[in-house]
Amino acid sequence: MYPINLMRNVARKGAKSDFHLIVDADMVMSEGFAEKVKMIVNQMIDGKNKNALVVRRFETDDQTIPKNLNQLKEAFDAKKQLEKIRQENRLGLSIDVE
């Protein structure tokens, strides 16, 4: 098997786009994600600078996946959601949802 990051880099270098969205296969995007990201990315791309758009990842053991920000906030309040970065690095970055 090929290391996944190597394969991602091969795909990224071969793509003919100024923007690359690299996600894991098990990630579920929120409602309207593509439209929202497209607007942000179009503002970021200027052909001169390199920028990064970071998409926060959340994990859950619950069968219900939040479909919008309000549902995500409710899941946080009920302790059903956990930021992926907090699972992997307890001293890592934390951003409030409020």
Among residues 19, 5, 7, 14, the alpha carbon closest in space to that of 55 is found at: 19
User: Residue 16 has which token pair?
Assistant: 């003919």
For residues 24 and 97, which has the higher predicted lDDT (pLDDT)? 24
Listed in sequence order, the residues at least 6 apart from 69 whose beta carbon sits closer than 8 Å to its beta carbon are 30, 97
4: helix, strand or coil: helix
pLDDT at 82: 66
pLDDT at 13: 84
The answer to whether 82 and 59 have CB atoms below 8 angstroms apart is: yes
The answer to whether 97 and 74 have CB atoms below 8 angstroms apart is: no
**Is the entire prediction scored with pTM above 0.85?**
no
Domain residue limits, the chain? 1-57, 66-97
pLDDT (tens digit, 9 = 90+) per residue, 73-87? 888 788 776 665 444
Phi, psi angle pair for 81, to nearest 5° = -115, 150
